[in-house]
Structure 1
Amino acid sequence: MTRNPVIAIFDVGKTNKKLFLFDEQYKIVFERTARFTETTDEDGDPCENLESLRLSVFDSLREVFKRKDIEVKAINFSTYGASLVYIDEDGRPLTPLYNYLKTYPGPLKQQFYQKYGGEAAFSAQTASPVLGSLNSGMQLYRLKHERPELCKDVKYALHLPQYMSYLLAGVPCSDITSIGCHTNLWDFQQNDYHPWVKQEGLLDKMAPLVASNEVMPAVFPGNNYSIGTGLHDSSAALIPYLVNFHEPFVLISTGTWCISMNPFNHTPLTEAELAQDCLCYMTFQRKPVKASRLFAGYEHELQVKRIAEHFNQNTMRYRSVDFDAGIIATLRHRKPVAKGTGITAFGNRDLATFSTDVEAYHQLMLDIADEQYKSTQLVLKGTRVKRIFVDGGFSKNVIYMNLLAAMFPETEVFAASMAQATAMGAALAVHSSWNRKALPNDLIELKYYALAHNAAI
């Protein structure tokens, strides 16, 4: 029997842990999803069960290697960022995998920023808004100051994708997509670790930086295959677009957060942009990606429930509401409502003023699109972007897509769809090390949204 060459990708999210096998055409030939019960750290805060994750990787691979129809040529990883695994000389984790949502001590945070130039200047240097534990470098700083004896035993602080790579390759390494993502570790102006890392005596605890397309031989038993270094999931999701499109574009990746990423905007972040939740990611090619964030998916979920309850409808109804340009034109003439403390103005709107639930839903999408326009404009400034790609949940929402097309009349707006962009990005990053075939040019399916002139937007 001829064995089909594949790459195995472990795609680890906060909720779902997935394993995919891609063939040389980047078609998924195997998929498995697992969920683990969270454990707690020494403070009783919830955190990832690192041991369950480790065992799951080994068990899954043993099963895959038994198959006679495939041959695993490479393995790579894409995981959520901002979480560090502290390993000792023997590669054993010394602490739990602390949750990036863990509350950060106020006095320690104040001490750090006072010592290293103040929040505004420091954030500009590191392209990292002040996010507490979500700045993973702050977790390492906390370990050093709160548990100095344990910190001495740390050989390396590895981000989660690189820890998973270490499990199979036995080679500790750092990757720029993890180090360069709102960690407080990387100085974007100097293109190197920020001086504080060395001043705190922590530079030696950062494993050597390895290029994202490099692979290493495996130490885990099996056939002859290579191990990638692992990637931060947001950077991995951008790779299929960077591979397929070379003219400047912006990707709006939609989900709970709607993140606008511009890989063609290399201007330094300003204080004003940082204050509006802008940050920088780093591509696998070591180039900064200016990004802005909007909590729009969460807002949509919240307000859809409110609409459904008021009009006595099922929330499922709003998954496929047709776009009505006439309703939008009417809504545009309504008296503006102040935004208040919410993501959009919709939370302050009186639902009794809408004649139908469909009209109310159009207003919600209009309010979301208005905020999305402002958020995306933050990363568009000063660049010649001609295309906007939208992927994720909102790419299937025809009201959202038509509104965006109208709000960006000089730009082509596309709904993009592809199977498992994050996992595919991790596979594409190491393409040349496992795949004998040329990169396919049909990875992404696009649907163009023309400007609806009669929408009066």
Structure 2
Amino acid sequence: MPLPRFIAVIDIGKTNAKVVLIDSHTKRQLAARSTPNSVRQDGPYPHADVERLWAFMLESLSALQVEHGVDGISITTHGATAALLAGDQLALPVLDYEFSGPQETTDSYGAARPDFIETLSPRLPNGLNIGAQLFWQQQRFATQFASVTQILTYPQYWAWRLSGVMASEVTSLGCHSDLWAPEKADFSSLVQQQDWRDLFPAVRPAASVLGPIKPEIAVTTGLRAETPVTCGIHDSNASLLPHLGSHEEPFTILSTGTWAIAMTVGGDTSHLDPARDSLANVDAFGRPVPTARFMGGREFDMLAPNAETPSAADIDAVIAGDVQALPSFMAGVGPFPTHVGCWTGNPDALSPGARTAAVSLYLALVTQTCLSLCGLGQQIIIEGPLARNGLYASALARLTGVPVQASGDATGTGLGASMLFGGAAGSATGTAVAPLEHAGFDAYAARWRARLA
């Protein structure tokens, strides 16, 4: 199939949903539309507002068709999410992975789930393991679960709604789900044990085209009836895709959004610590990639609600005054899952710029800790919102001692998802980041680490 020129990427992040248009010839983003990804609180449990997202997608595709034309549709979403279908309807709402309901079956699920050595997936809180979601839903809503005919991971749910074709895909199955065994490249023993295997459609490559859009979608949006739809990909792996085969291994991609996710391609999975939120993701080619992560974007928004670009004086005030944030402000995740977040002083006394500086340095220090778990590559490429945080990037360059690049991709995932249709690897561009030069920063970092020892 010829490479489509104008590719609409549906990008469902945990905080925001976007539809961006990528020119596959220039690798540039031409347009973008965004909406908050709100969680509904009605029904049996908190869940995704899939019908509002669906309306947003269709409206965005229609507008992009009028403005530029759309030649293909690709899909990327956050992980730890699945849709349970009974025929062509949802058997149960699409569960919000931050909901604590699956904790109700923690003990029985803990006895049923595979060992880390099989799945390279740690036991995570709430619904962050899809296996834990399914296990809880099967017990808590037995009648509805008995009606389930198909289980679709989240990108493939939207691909099905657009194309009418069902598929499974390894980047979402391999995203700390407990459902996939990366070394076997097959479903895990949990799936067999719980008799879920027949509920998953056949596995298709992320880059496969499932089919054209359904006729009614063409009518609604004005897109051509033959507009192709890809199978779709997990969002962190979308950030990874443009770099595969284009850098000397090992190298680290830092995909940021609600989560900050460090993935070291060509790294060693043997040093992962399941108790510290380090695991293996599975890339678009089915290969395990050592990964460590924390909710960096969520913590930034929480700790610096009135963010302002810090001045040199702001940075100096924070470092000289030893103002530090200590992890973790999101319990149960990241490399310090049991440590309760706190400040060394009163953050409310800081100016917006100084507070932003302190939070940016905090995120860089936690990121360095993540890299000690998943392995430090010969270079680091930052994707997504944190690529625009100059202090964070320069502090990370100083802390790690390896070259750091800040990606120019505005979404961090759009380019990679568009490349599911093809296109040359290595087309992602970035800006080299100079290491932070401050006489007191090395000692500041040493004190931060000592406080956590």
TM-score range, shorter chain: 0.7 to 0.9
State the alpha-carbon separation in 2 of the partners of residues 138 and 230 from structure 1.
23
Identity fraction in percent: 24
Tell me the matched-pair count.
Answer: 421
Q: Structure 2 residue aligned with 1:199, among 188, 193, 199?
A: 193
Which residue pairs with 1:312 in the alignment?
Answer: none
Which residue pairs with 2:309 in the alignment?
Answer: 319
State the alpha-carbon separation in 2 of the partners of residues 34 and 419 from structure 1.
16
> Structure 1 pair 329/54, CA: closer, same or farther in 2 (3 Å)?
closer
Please state how far the C-alpha of 1:16 moved relative to its aligned partner. 2.7
8 Å CA contact 2:163–2:229 kept in 1: the answer is yes
State the alpha-carbon separation in 2 of the partners of residues 160 and 389 from structure 1.
26
State the alpha-carbon separation in 2 of the partners of residues 63 and 364 from structure 1.
38
State the alpha-carbon separation in 1 of the partners of residues 72 and 324 from structure 2.
54
Which residue pairs with 2:220 in the alignment?
Answer: none
Q: Where do 1:53-452 residues align within 5 Å?
A: 53-65=53-65, 67=66, 70=69, 72-89=70-87, 91-116=88-113, 122-131=115-124, 132-221=126-215, 222-242=224-244, 244-268=246-270, 270=272, 273-304=273-304, 315-316=306-307, 318-322=308-312, 330=320, 339=326, 347-351=342-346, 365-380=360-375, 385-409=377-401, 411-431=402-422, 439=424, 443-450=428-435, 452=437
Q: Secondary structure at the match of 2:413?
A: helix
State the alpha-carbon separation in 2 of the partners of residues 340 and 79 from structure 1.
27
AA in 2 matched with 1:80: H
8 Å CA contact 2:407–2:430 kept in 1: the answer is yes
CA RMSD of superposed structures (Å) = 3.4
User: Is the radius of gyration larger for structure 1 or structure 2?
Assistant: 1
State the alpha-carbon separation in 2 of the partners of residues 109 and 355 from structure 1.
41
CA distances 1:82-136 after superposition (whole Å, capped 9, x unpaired):
22111223x222221111112234452211222446xxxx234222222231111
State the alpha-carbon separation in 2 of the partners of residues 375 and 329 from structure 1.
22
5+ residue gaps, structure 1, are 306-314, 433-438
State the alpha-carbon separation in 2 of the partners of residues 267 and 144 from structure 1.
32
> Structure 1 pair 153/367, CA: closer, same or farther in 2 (3 Å)?
closer
Q: Secondary structure at the match of 1:96?
A: coil
Which residue pairs with 1:311 in the alignment?
Answer: none
8 Å CA contact 1:338–1:345 kept in 2: the answer is no
State the alpha-carbon separation in 2 of the partners of residues 41 and 389 from structure 1.
40
8 Å CA contact 1:402–1:451 kept in 2: the answer is yes
8 Å CA contact 1:322–1:398 kept in 2: the answer is no
8 Å CA contact 2:250–2:266 kept in 1: the answer is yes
8 Å CA contact 1:262–1:380 kept in 2: the answer is yes
CA distances 1:340-397 after superposition (whole Å, capped 9, x unpaired):
8657998341349x9998777655554443333222121116xxx2111223344333
> Structure 1 pair 188/323, CA: closer, same or farther in 2 (3 Å)?
farther
State the alpha-carbon separation in 1 of the partners of residues 179 and 42 from structure 2.
24
Please state how far the C-alpha of 1:177 moved relative to its aligned partner. 0.8
Please state how far the C-alpha of 1:63 moved relative to its aligned partner. 4.9
Q: Tell me if 1:26 matches 2:27.
A: yes
State the alpha-carbon separation in 2 of the partners of residues 373 and 362 from structure 1.
17
AA in 2 matched with 1:30: A
Please state how far the C-alpha of 1:322 moved relative to its aligned partner. 2.9
State the alpha-carbon separation in 1 of the partners of residues 355 and 64 from structure 2.
50
8 Å CA contact 2:102–2:133 kept in 1: the answer is no
Q: Secondary structure at the match of 1:405?
A: helix
Q: Secondary structure at the match of 1:319?
A: coil
AA in 1 matched with 2:375: L
